[in-house]
Structure 1
């Protein structure tokens, strides 16, 4: 029995959301506030396929939420089977046999299910599937690849072994400082593959907002769906425990729990993932604890240690207190010197005039004394 609302016509209500979560990630506790960001992405991803210039939703075998759940269940159970075997199993389901679903419809439904379930852009290597959801990179699923193979090929460990002195990260290496000190703008991404990707292209400043500081240090993409990572960690092995744990640690690294500025920013951005019930891992500043995201963290860390380029950034840069005080004391001395220089320049003509008057007065006094004699 399927839900009354159809996948491409109605956004899932609270009851439907709860069932989707329970069947996407069996055993996961449901709280609407925890999954609000995920279902915002879910609705946007479905809506993207309905635009007039995109593919027709009739090219999908899954037309209801029940259909989508059925596709996800087969993909989860048969994650060690090739794409062709998974597609064949889905086609044999009663609801798709009644519809006489084609290979194209099945593959499109598998790609959509992978995108919303794994929150990563998945593309069939030999089949076009709709527009990308703003993702920079995607995983390619070939006919002979298993879903686990696709994930392993896309997320590989970084072989760099830092020296002892380079392994420990600075305690100030957090997202708020990347924004305020380095001028980097944070963009939230629903594609796990794009997590921590840094684009060094300066963010253009609109001319009518010349007065507003917008940052000049590029953009870093952050994946915020921590509750999805925790749900996969508790229910599936497709993404791998190590990748899931390391991604959650990277979020804890950049958005430390208890930091008031971080908390305020996440609430403002409607991504308070620190409030979700997720596994707790010790916050690590050791670079050697990151294998999948190490290269991207190193790139960000190099940018973090680059000298600030604007006065706004210099004022916010408290990484080296001695350097900060030295710079601004020197700046204060320069300002005081300039102020006294201006005052001296202004008073110099008046002093000269006063000296001239004093001289003339002394001459007049001398002349008067000579006349009296």
Structure 2
């Protein structure tokens, strides 16, 4: 708590000092992985915590302790709901963030939908402080186990799990920041732990993300191939494609045979 007292003391003493304010904001972002201050237009829709009065701890607790407000009826988080399916089937691009407050935040612009993932699994596992509400960091880690389950994205002995390559490609795409490579190796949520009512701090954002995922319909052949959420629809589509291909192939064969017969005549 010495760090908190130091920051709050300087804040009260020189609140109008813009340089000092930026320094304090930077210190908090490094210490607690939360960005403070107003959001500039260049930063887009991303979030910053406004600390105007009171203690920093009270500000953080008040911000994260808001009760979920969205209806959870019909929301399921199956084992197939993970980073790979969110991007490949749901059409939502995965981006990593160093700001805890941006975690699971879904945005949309002309280029499509993007979801921010707070990737610092080691921080969530080992940071101990009353600065955060009780259970927040543990629940955040659970969301990483949900989105990047070790059974899909980790390693088994010397072998990579089937989605490991996808995760490694995400790391390569995020060269501008140092990604926590323990992501994908921090466990897997079992069925009971995946129930939406088990989440409190991140429930609303999970609901928004899952609804966007459920509402997405395939728009390309690769998406139709990967999207097996509805096995009946998937089977019907590919049977129709197979029939079409066979019909075209049969038609081509008949045309060739007809041409050969005509040339012989």
Pair 1:111 & 2:31 matched: no
Q: Distance in 1 between matches of 2:110 and 2:85?
A: 17
Query: 1:288: how far off?
Result: 0.8
Pair 1:73 & 2:12 matched: no
Structure label with greater radius of gyration: 1
Q: Distance in 2 between matches of 1:102 and 1:302?
A: 42
Query: 1:242: how far off?
Result: 2.2
| Aligned partner of 2:117 among 222, 227, 237 | 222
| Aligned partner of 2:68 among 154, 158, 172 | 158
Q: Distance in 2 between matches of 1:334 and 1:193?
A: 49
From the superposition, tell whether residues 131 and 317 of structure 1 become closer, same or farther in structure 2 (CA, over 3 Å): closer
Query: 1:133: how far off?
Result: 7.4
- Give the match for residue 130 of structure 2: 237
Q: Distance in 1 between matches of 2:235 and 2:96?
A: 35
Q: Give the conservation status (yes or no) of the 8 Å contact 1:253–1:285.
A: yes
Report the TM-score, using the length of structure 1 for normalisation: 0.57
Alpha-carbon deviations, 1:148-177, whole Å to 9, x = none?
2321343223133423xx243222100011
Q: Distance in 1 between matches of 2:51 and 2:29?
A: 12
CA RMSD in angstroms, aligned pairs only: 3.2
The SS at the match of 1:297 is: helix
Matches within 5 A, 1:201-350: 201-203=109-111, 217-232=112-127, 235-259=128-152, 260-268=161-169, 269=171, 270-274=179-183, 282-283=189-190, 284-305=193-214, 306-350=216-260
Q: Give the conservation status (yes or no) of the 8 Å contact 1:115–1:122.
A: yes
The SS at the match of 2:135 is: helix
Q: Give the conservation status (yes or no) of the 8 Å contact 1:161–1:288.
A: no
In structure 2, the gaps of 5 or more residues are 153-160, 172-178
Pair 1:87 & 2:16 matched: no
Query: 1:221: how far off?
Result: 1.0
Q: Distance in 2 between matches of 1:132 and 1:120?
A: 18
Q: Give the conservation status (yes or no) of the 8 Å contact 1:266–1:272.
A: no
From the superposition, tell whether residues 221 and 274 of structure 1 become closer, same or farther in structure 2 (CA, over 3 Å): closer
RCO higher in structure (CA 8 A, sep ≥6):
2
- Give the match for residue 361 of structure 1: none
- Give the match for residue 199 of structure 1: 107
